[in-house]
Chain A
């Protein structure tokens, strides 16, 4: 890795925040995370009741979609937050929740932490960022592979099998400390054993995990991926400034809850040490230095879909209102700039 590379964060983006304010925002507490876990558990209980009541009817599918979104989006978001170690002040609690939520997210926790570490150092830098999930500029085919969940499921499955069998990729060797591989391998074997246990239970006739876990998980993953897709899609590769590589978007209270306030994604990349419960306050503290926040979750996603469709059809790719890097906007035709690193 080049010696002179400056990590992508507030300093590389020219954003300033008084240390006293930053220190206040970074203050750690167990309470918000524990309250969140309790609210998440209640929401899962309620959506699980919805699935139970709908069993045997066609309503079971929308019920499982809702239950799956409530399962998958917070599991992703909490796994991400605990990978940073910012969710709880108490370390063992943070690591326990990282394990459980990573189990739901389907990624070995240390692999998650190390690749995400790399993602923050080299945010959206081609050939360096180990968490680029799709080729850029994005086409409709790549959008389908991403949002359906197939691309991520393939990546997670192959990653688990590689870690469990000790067949480490070049990317893994670059981002994970060499001494840590035995732990990653052990964890991957435990994960596979848990998943195999669930599969065995279903094979032997247990219907609970099928209707309340596996099918909702599969249905909820696309919702989760719509959240993660808009973090960086259509933004600039290889930019030192987070303002150019990353997108924040407006959000409803429900979406903010599911996503742990991570719609403030620019703010998170600028100051990753700020815990999820302080992100809205961080936004208020630096908003004068930031570009305008993109529109809400649905509108941003619809505009992205429109752009990738038009790109695949060889038409103009200017979005109506979301931010785009200049080179993403063409009158037809495009040049592939990067291949996904998550494969």
Chain B
């Protein structure tokens, strides 16, 4: 269960099959809109220090713009080299046209 729901963006800020970057508490996140719905993950590729918000979304996959490493945005699973470490994902809630990102309680 998430302890904090952060208002990330309007639902229609993101086109179908696209990604939007979102910074909160000095940490980068990405919100994805795919044919299966809205998803969220950390915003930096686990391979090298590259922002995934500049990548492209293909079905339920985010492709890093630098080396084309791919993650399943629903699970964070690293799908192909050069990415080997999974991406941290977060729950998402869409209410009244707004997308909320679920984060654990601040330490």
Interface residues of A (CB under 8 A from B): 3, 7, 9, 19, 23, 26, 28, 84-86, 89, 91, 95, 110, 113-114, 117, 120-121, 177, 179-180, 271-273
Distance (Å) between the CB of A15 and the closest chain B CB?
Answer: 13
Contact A117 B82, CB 8 Å, known A273-B65, A273-B68: yes
Chain B residues with Cβ below 8 Å from A85 are: 63, 68, 70, 80
Distance (Å) between the CB of B98 and the closest chain A CB?
Answer: 22
Distance (Å) between the CB of B42 and the closest chain A CB?
Answer: 18
Binds A, one of B4-12, B30-38, B50-58, B89-97: B50-58
Distance (Å) between the CB of B22 and the closest chain A CB?
Answer: 15
Q: Could you jot down 10 A-B contacts, CB within 8 Å?
A: A28-B58, A85-B63, A85-B68, A91-B70, A113-B81, A121-B67, A271-B65, A272-B66, A273-B55, A273-B56
* Alpha-carbon gap, A26 to B57, bound state (A): 10
Of the listed residues B18, B58, B70, B82, the one surrounded by the most CB atoms of chain A closer than 10 A to its CB is: B82
Of the listed residues A28, A86, A177, the one surrounded by the most CB atoms of chain B closer than 10 A to its CB is: A177
Distance (Å) between the CB of B62 and the closest chain A CB?
Answer: 11
Contact with A along B10-23 (1 / 0, CB 8 A): 00000000100000
CB <8 Å contact, A7 and B48: yes
CB <8 Å contact, A177 and B84: yes
Tell me which of A23, A86, A91, A177 contacts B82 (CB under 8 A).
A177
* Alpha-carbon gap, A3 to B48, bound state (A): 10
Chain B residues with Cβ below 8 Å from A177 are: 81-82, 84
Chain A residues with Cβ below 8 Å from B55 are: 273
Chain A residues with Cβ below 8 Å from B84 are: 177, 179-180
Distance (Å) between the CB of A189 and the closest chain B CB?
Answer: 18
* Alpha-carbon gap, A129 to B79, bound state (A): 25
CB <8 Å contact, B68 and A26: no
Contact A9 B68, CB 8 Å, known A113-B82, A177-B81: no
Chain B residues with Cβ below 8 Å from A3 are: 49
* Alpha-carbon gap, A145 to B80, bound state (A): 35
CB <8 Å contact, B81 and A110: yes
Distance (Å) between the CB of B54 and the closest chain A CB?
Answer: 8
Chain B residues with Cβ below 8 Å from A120 are: 66-67
Contact A89 B81, CB 8 Å, known A23-B18, A273-B68: no
CB <8 Å contact, A121 and B81: no
Contact A23 B56, CB 8 Å, known A117-B82, A180-B84: yes
Chain B residues with Cβ below 8 Å from A180 are: 81, 84
Chain B residues with Cβ below 8 Å from A86 are: 68
Residue of A nearest to B56 (CB): A26
* Alpha-carbon gap, A56 to B54, bound state (A): 57
* Alpha-carbon gap, A110 to B81, bound state (A): 8
CB <8 Å contact, A272 and B58: no
Beyond the given pairs A117-B67, A273-B63, 20 more chain A to chain B contacts, judged by CB atoms under 8 angstroms and listed by A's residue number, are A7-B66, A9-B65, A85-B68, A85-B70, A85-B80, A86-B68, A110-B81, A113-B82, A114-B81, A120-B66, A121-B48, A121-B67, A177-B81, A179-B84, A180-B81, A180-B84, A271-B65, A272-B65, A272-B67, A273-B65
Distance (Å) between the CB of A188 and the closest chain B CB?
Answer: 15
Distance (Å) between the CB of B34 and the closest chain A CB?
Answer: 14
Residue of B nearest to A9 (CB): B66
* Alpha-carbon gap, A225 to B43, bound state (A): 39
Of the listed residues B56, B58, B79, the one surrounded by the most CB atoms of chain A closer than 10 A to its CB is: B56
Chain A residues with Cβ below 8 Å from B63 are: 85, 273
CB <8 Å contact, B18 and A84: no
Residue of B nearest to A271 (CB): B65
* Alpha-carbon gap, A120 to B82, bound state (A): 12
* Alpha-carbon gap, A330 to B82, bound state (A): 40
